[in-house]
Amino acid sequence: MPKRIVIIGGGAGGTITANLLARNLYRQLVSGHVVINMITDKAEHVYQPGFLYVVFDKVRPDEIVRKQKDLLDQHINLFVDPAVKIDKENKIVRTQSGKEFPYDYLVIATGSRIVPEDIPGLKEGGHWFYDMEGAKKLRQALKDFSGGRIAITVGVPHKCPVAPLEMTFMLYDYFKQKEMLDKVELFYTYPINRLHSLEPVANWAVPEFEKKGIKSETFFNMEEIDAEKKVVRSMEGSELNYDLLIAVPPHKGAPVVAESGLGKDGWIATDKKTLHNEGSDNVYVVGDTTNLPISKAGSTAHFESHIVAERLSSEITEGYSETLYDGKVICFVETSFDEATYIWFNYKTPPTPAPPSKMVHWMKLGYNRLYWLSAKGIL
Amino acid sequence: MSVAVDSTIDARGSACPGPTMELIKAMKSSAVGTVVEVLSSDKMTTVDGAAWLKKVGQELVETSDKGGYWSIIAKKIK
Ligand SMILES: Cc1cc2nc3c(=O)[nH]c(=O)nc-3n(C[C@H](O)[C@H](O)[C@H](O)COP(=O)(O)OP(=O)(O)OC[C@H]3O[C@@H](n4cnc5c(N)ncnc54)[C@H](O)[C@@H]3O)c2cc1C
C-alpha cells in the first residue's frame, strides 16, 4: 500500500510543497511507494503580487497566469475539483464531483480570499486590487480619474501587509507622471495607530508621506461605506469623504475549512514550529490559511512549504523529522515606480529595513518573473 | 486571573501584522460577550490596545505584566 499524500490548494504554498515533495521523494514516487494527489479549484495559477502592476499597466493580466498542470512535476496527480469536505476522522477529502481521496498525510494550503461583502457598501462604492477583476476595474477607474480625493482603506485581517503602502506610493508616482498631483489628494488610513504594522516601516513612511503631501489617519477600521454619498465610516467613529475609494477588503480562509469544522472564518489552528494542524500529526497547514500571527504572504507560504516538504519527506523515509519553522518572512516593499526596500524577520528577530534603492526594485521586478521557478520548487 | 477568557491569541514574537492588529481581528470576529486575551512581547500593545478599545467603545478588562511578556484582555460589549 503506497503512502498517500493529499495536498489541497494549488496556489503558492500547495504548489511549492508538492514540487519539493516530488523532488525529495522521486524514488518512492517512481516505484509507487508514494502517491501525491493535488486537489485544487482552478486550472490556472495566478501570481497575485502581479495585481499591483496590472493596476498601473506595468504588467498585462496574461503575464501573471500559468496553467497549474505546467507548474507541477509530472509525478503529481492534479485534480481540478474543489474540496468540499475534509474528514479528519476517516482521513478522507471529498470533492465537489463526489470523489473521495483517502490520505495518510494531508497538506492544507487553501489560502485566503477577500470578503468585501463583510463591509456594507464596499462592493457598490469601492475598488480593490486583490483579485484580477478588481485590479482591471481599478486600472480603468484610474485612467478615467480626473481629480479629487483617493482614499485608501485597509480591512482586517488581510494578506500582504505591505501592499496598501506600496499602492499609495505607486499612486503618487502614477499621478506625478501624468502631471496631475495638483488635482489629486491621496488619503491613507490604517487599522492600528501607526502607518504600518512594522514599526521601522511605519517610522520610515512618516517623512515620506510629509514630503509627498500624502494625508493619513490611523486607528481607522472600515465599518461601512455610503456609496451614494461617497463616505467611509470607521468603527472609531470618523467619516472620510472620497472621490475614489481603494480598499483592501477584509479576508477569510476558504469556506471548506470552516465547513469541515477546522477553524472559525477559515483560519486553522497551527503549531508555530511544526506547522501541524494542532492535535493532528498527519495534517500540515501551509500559507495564508494558518492562524499564525505572522504575515499572510507568498514568502511565508514559500518558507513554510520548505519546512513541510522536509518534514514529510523525513517522516516517510526516516520515520521522524526534526525540521522546524522559525517564522521567517521576507517582503519586498515598492516605495515608488523605481525604488524598493525589503524586510526580513522571524519569530525572534524584528525587521530592520534597508534604505530604498533601485537595485532592490530591480530584484523585485526580476522576482516577479522568477516566481514560476519558485512555484516549481527550483528557486 | 480573575476573569474567564474565551480565547487567547499568542502573538508573542509577531512583528507583522502584530499583536494590536490581532486584537482588532479577534474583536471584529467575536460575538458580543466574548472575552479575548492577546499575549505580546511588546509592552506597547497594552497601551495601543487600550487606546483602540477606548476609541471603539469596547471594554478593556485588564492588562498585566507576565514577566517577559504582556497580556491584554478585552470584552466585546456591543
Ligand atoms: C495584490 C497582492 C499583492 C501581494 N504581494 C505580495 C508580495 O509582494 N510578497 C508576498 O510574499 N506576498 C504577496 N501577496 C500575497 C500572496 O499572494 C499570498 O500570501 C500567497 O499566494 C499565499 O499562498 P497560499 O498558498 O496560502 O494561498 P493561494 O496562493 O491563494 O492559494 C490557495 C489555493 O487554494 C485554492 N483553493 C481554495 N479553496 C479550495 C478548495 N475548496 N478546494 C481546492 N482548492 C481550493 C485556491 O484556488 C488557490 O489556488 C500579495 C497578494 C496580493 C493579493
Nearest CB partner across the interface for A198, out of B15, B20, B56 = B15
| pLDDT score of A280 more than 60 | yes
| Residue A214 in contact with ligand 1 by CB distance below 6 A | no
C-alpha angle A126-A129-A130 in degrees, rounded to nearest 5: 110
Best CATH choice for the domain A117-247 from the list 3.40.50.2300, 3.40.50.1360, 2.40.10.220, 3.50.50.60: 3.50.50.60
- Per-residue pLDDT of A2-35, as tens digits, reads 999 999 999 999 999 999 999 999 999 999 999 9
- Quick one: CA dihedral A238, A241, A242, A245, positive or negative? positive
For residue A285, what are the β-bridge partners?
Answer: A108
The label of the residue with cell 463583510 reads: A118
Task: Report d(CA A312, CA A320) in Å as an integer.
Answer: 9
**Neighboring chain A residues of B78 at a CB cutoff of 8 Å:** none
pLDDT tier at B3, thresholds 50, 70, 90 = confident
- Strands A148-154, A184-190: pairing is parallel
Q: What is the widest separation between alpha-carbon atoms in chain B?
A: 32
pLDDT for the residue numbered A353: 85
How many CB atoms sit inside 10 A of residue A257's CB? 23
For residue A204, what are the β-bridge partners?
Answer: none
In the reported structure, the alpha carbon of residue B10 is separated from the centroid of ligand 1 by a whole-number distance in angstroms of 24
Nearest to A309 by CA among A34, A30, A2: A34
pTM over 0.95: yes
How many CB atoms sit inside 10 A of residue A237's CB? 10
- Per-residue pLDDT of B10-24, as tens digits, reads 999 888 899 999 999
Shortest Cα distance, chain B CAs vs residue A114, angstroms = 14
- Per-residue pLDDT of A226-273, as tens digits, reads 999 999 999 999 999 999 999 999 999 999 999 999 999 999 999 999
CATH fold match for the domains A3-111+254-329 and A117-247: yes
pLDDT for the residue numbered A120: 98
Mean pLDDT of A359-368: 96
Per the prediction, chain A carries an average pLDDT of 97
Q: Does A74 contact chain B (CB < 8 Å)?
A: no
The per-residue DSSP string of A91-116 comes to TEEEETTS-EEE-SEEEE---EEE-G
pLDDT tier at A365, thresholds 50, 70, 90 = very high
B39 within 8 A of B11, measured Cβ to Cβ = yes
Cα separations in angstroms, A308 against A2, A5, A127, A272, A285: 19, 12, 36, 12, 8
Task: Report d(CA B7, CA B48) in Å as an integer.
Answer: 20
Cell triple for residue A193? Answer: 495607530
Task: Report d(CA A367, CA A349) in Å as an integer.
Answer: 24
Cα A210 off chain centre by: 29
B38 within 8 A of B23, measured Cβ to Cβ = yes
Q: What one-character DSSP code corresponds to residue A290?
A: B
Q: Name all domains of chain B by residue range, CATH numbers in brackets.
A: 7-75 (3.30.110.40)
pLDDT for the residue numbered A265: 95
How many CB atoms sit inside 10 A of residue A352's CB? 10
- Per-residue pLDDT of A138-183, as tens digits, reads 999 999 999 999 999 999 999 999 999 999 999 999 999 999 999 9
Q: Which CATH superfamily is domain A3-111+254-329 in?
A: FAD/NAD(P)-binding domain (3.50.50.60)
- Per-residue pLDDT of A111-146, as tens digits, reads 999 999 999 999 999 999 999 999 999 999 999 999
| pLDDT score of B1 more than 60 | no
In the reported structure, the alpha carbon of residue B52 is separated from the centroid of ligand 1 by a whole-number distance in angstroms of 30
Instruction: For chain A, give every domain's residue range.
Output: 3-111+254-329, 117-247
Would you call A106 exposed, middle or buried from its count of C-beta atoms within 10 A (0-12, 13-18, 19+)?
Answer: buried
| pLDDT score of B2 more than 80 | no
Phi/psi at A286 (5° precision): -135, 140
